[in-house]
Amino acid sequence: MIKKVFVFILALFLLTGTWFSAPVRGIAASLPGENILGGSGFEGPLNEQGEAEPWKISGGGWGQGNCGNVVTAQDAPEGDSYMCLQSTAASTKPILLQPSVPIEAGATYNLTFYVRSEEGTRAAVKLEYYKAGVSGSVDFLSESLSDTNGEWVEKSIRFTPSVEIQPTKVSFLFRLSAAGTVHWDNIRCVKVQEAPYSVMLTDEKFYYTGTETGTATLSKTGLRTVDGAITADFSLCDEDGTVINERRGIPFSDESVQFTYSVADFALKKKYTVFYTVHADGIEVESGAEKVYRYNRPWMIDGNGKIYHPADVSEDGKITVGAKPFMPVMGYHVQTDNTEQYTYASQIGVNVVQFFPWSTKAESIQKKLDLLAKYDLLAFVALYGSAVEDAQKIVEASMNHEAVFGYMLMDEPLNNGESMEKMETLYKAVRDVDDKHPTYLVESMSKKHKYAEIARYADIFATDPYPASAEIAGTNPTVGVETARAAVRDKKPVMCINQCFPLAGYQPDGETVRNMTYQALLAGASGIGYYDLRDTKGYNEDGTTDEEKFVHLWERVCWSDMVSFAENEMDFAYKAFISGEYEILSENMTDTYWYRMLRAGENVRCVLLNRTNSAQSVEIPFSEPCCSVSVLAGNSANTPVYENGKIKVSLLPLSALLLEPGEALVFMQNGRETETLQSGTVSIKYCHYSAENSDFTVYIALYGGEVPETEMVHVAPKSRVTAGKSQMVTLEMPVQSAAGRYIKVFVMENGSFFASRIYELRGTAA
């Protein structure tokens, strides 16, 4: 074994000779080739509790119902022993772990192990990263394993602890997530590459036609110190290796250095490579490269990052005259061919669904797409899972169908340990043959520090900021969308997939889902999505995954409010945040609440969000004449009122309100607004606004008789309003009999009456 390790280390040194090309200083957590895990083969003696130190068992115990046992047997792949994890119930999920292993951020490690599992057994490997002074894990990597049909199989996972977060320790978790048995052996982890001195990231991976220049940024990681004068060389080469642009000897004294290059003359769909080399006193420290390409922008996305419906794009790639931006509302896990679920999707405004082809046969794909089109649904064709190898065939079979909206390249690729090489391959599989439809990627918020990197592989980039708690539900979608927009530099559309399922014991109610939806739109999302419509995990109140207890979205607490939002607010949300049809009158975004006031046709609407899990009172300045405020949607702690130029409203925790300020004058009887004159005391509330200092007087007159005559007139004292302010006036008028009578209110401003300020309330005929 010692000889094998020595040969492995020597081979690594020969392959990566730059390790010794300059005096690089820094303390490594381990030497290249050294196994950082203890007890890898489970061959050592057990302690008094029968445990194989330093391994631990979580979610069960050593010898407890065989949750965790070291087995001595001749069929071990190496040595005489291996670890057995066993679960007889879904509620018992034993985890074999080795916690708090020192790790070096930025270094690359290779985790290898043998695994044996029975058919249908679900197992996974998870790495949790930790950093001194920070509670909880700061990052993680998770990879699901397919069953091995009872045979020992050797697996490997290559990983690099984040340069951005710089964790110092990692815990290794080998999981059994359902009933069954899994065996593990010879679990080893070795460093195969030292942490870099610098890293390079190009602003785009796939430049769109019309883009003139690209930029590669080389940044110091802070993980290494290099002696001497540091310089950087850059070069851009075409597919044949010909240098078409270069810069050499750039001083690298600051934290980063940039290389700008022309992409306007790139040949479409051809590979170009940006190379860099870092020198210290002329001696090479390290080097690297990044491939870049140039493609036409998908026809469905314009230069401002707006998305259009496929039907609004002609065969030559031009958006139909008069076409308006399209707001995708995506539903996850809508079952193919299940028309009942299509109906449920439509009830909450979903217009785009996942579509897993499960076949490369054009006839089969076309048939399923025809059914989606019948229900006015568009398809995000999923190219991951079993579809990866046949991605281009699926694209060719789908691309000309009216129901295709785009292609889902992967679900949370970084979170699932997918390589950037795979993302590149999938993007090219689509865009090499389909110029019309966009590609789509969604990434977990746990990887938001990597959004700028992963977003380069998508034409539409999505964040899924599931809060998993009420404490951050009022802010997480905002953070997700704003981080995603920064990653794409507002050059591509961003979508937000919101939580509407139980997670970590937290189930958002309908009001919270509305809050998160408005958050995403206020933060600048071009589309929204719901995870998930069909339950595929068996979410239950007790947190188990019993497949007999699937709880679909239409059975969850948030469903009725989501239906109401689709019926009563979706059109407003589209016009307010996507098409730009409504004028923004005012807005304010604080840490505790957000509001935006818009002119919606002849009316005014106000979206108001409580961003906290506590009740609070908010005052919204509103300078236009207004007497009353009504809640069109959402729950308020009380009825909003308008006083002294402000709308005053009390908000329930995580509430989202759609408000409508009322008319400048309202008639009231018995404490309520009325549209018909009745016997008794009639009162008026009038709000006067003026853009300049002015005097105004309010008159109320009662008329009656076959030939209308003035029966009574009341006059309010003259009032003065300051420029840009508003003032409320109230008056009362007694009415003995309403039959055949009516009331008029007149407002005189600066000595003149205006027809627009005459208000009338009529009674019924005698």
Element (H, E) at 14: helix 2-15
C-alpha of 236 from chain center: 34
- At residue 446, φ and ψ (nearest 5 deg) are -65, -15
pLDDT of residue 30: 62
Instruction: Delimit the CATH 2.60.40.10 region(s) of the chain.
Output: 665-762
C-alpha of 735 from chain center: 59
pLDDT of residue 548: 62
- Distance between CA 426 and CA 594 in Å, rounded? 39
Sign of CA dihedral 408, 412, 418, 423: positive
Say how many CA atoms lie within 13 Å of 194 toward its Cβ.
Answer: 23
* Paired strand residues for 594: 589, 609
pLDDT of residue 546: 53
Mean pLDDT confidence for 652-656:
96
Task: Please indicate whether residue 540 or residue 704 has the higher confidence score (pLDDT).
Answer: 704
Confidence grade of residue 553 (pLDDT, cut at 50, 70, 90): very high
* Tens-digit pLDDT profile for residues 82-103: 998 888 765 567 889 999 999 9
The model's pTM is: 0.84
Q: How many CB atoms lie within 10 A of CB 547?
A: 12
| Nearest Cα to Cα of residue 121 among 144, 138, 153, 155 | 144
Instruction: Delimit the CATH 3.20.20.80 region(s) of the chain.
Output: 310-577
Q: Which residues contact 450 (CB under 8 A, 6 or more apart)?
A: 162, 164, 414, 443
Indicate the burial class of 208 (C-beta count within 10 angstroms; 0-12, 13-18, 19 or more): middle
Highest mean pLDDT among 460-464, 684-688, 739-743: 460-464
Mean pLDDT confidence for 1-18:
34
pLDDT of residue 585: 94
The 3-state DSSP composition of the chain as helix, strand, coil percent (nearest 5) reads: 20, 40, 40
Element (H, E) at 480: helix 476-488
- Distance between CA 263 and CA 33 in Å, rounded? 41
Q: How many CB atoms lie within 10 A of CB 568?
A: 12
pLDDT of residue 66: 63
- Distance between CA 60 and CA 171 in Å, rounded? 18
Mean pLDDT of all residues belonging to the chain: 89
Q: Is the pLDDT of residue 705 over 80?
A: no
Q: Provide the token pair at 406.
A: 């785009």
- What are the distances in angstroms from CA 411 to CA 33, 391, 520, 609, 626? 33, 15, 20, 30, 48
Angle between helices 510-522 and 476-488 (to 10 degrees): 30
Q: Which residues contact 210 (CB under 8 A, 6 or more apart)?
A: 297, 303
User: Are 286 and 273 in contact, with CB atoms under 8 Å apart?
Assistant: no
* Tens-digit pLDDT profile for residues 167-209: 999 999 998 877 788 999 999 999 999 999 999 999 999 999 9
DSSP 277-311: EEEETTEEEEEEEEEEEEEPPPTTB-TTS-B--GG
- Distance between CA 404 and CA 398 in Å, rounded? 7
Three-state DSSP class for residue 699: strand
Q: Is the pLDDT of residue 272 over 80?
A: yes
Q: Is the pLDDT of residue 1 over 50?
A: no
Whole-number percent of the chain with pLDDT over 90: 67
Sign of CA dihedral 614, 620, 626, 631: negative
- Distance between CA 351 and CA 330 in Å, rounded? 6
Q: Is the pLDDT of residue 575 over 70?
A: yes
CATH number, domain 198-295: 2.60.40.1930
CATH class of 29-193: mainly beta
Homologous superfamily of the 583-661 domain (CATH)? Golgi alpha-mannosidase II (2.60.40.1180)
CATH number, domain 310-577: 3.20.20.80
Instruction: Delimit the CATH 2.60.40.1180 region(s) of the chain.
Output: 583-661
Tell me if the bond preceding 325 is cis, omega within 30° of 0: no
Q: Is the pLDDT of residue 558 over 80?
A: yes
Instruction: Delimit the CATH 2.60.40.1930 region(s) of the chain.
Output: 198-295
Q: Provide the token pair at 581.
A: 């049809």
Q: How many CB atoms lie within 10 A of CB 425?
A: 15
C-alpha of 373 from chain center: 27
- Distance between CA 343 and CA 729 in Å, rounded? 51
CATH number, domain 665-762: 2.60.40.10
Residues in the chain: 766
- Distance between CA 487 and CA 453 in Å, rounded? 8
DSSP 15-46: HTGGGGSS-EE---SS-BT-B--SSTTS-SPP
Say how many CA atoms lie within 13 Å of 591 toward its Cβ.
Answer: 0
User: Are 205 and 215 in contact, with CB atoms under 8 Å apart?
Assistant: no
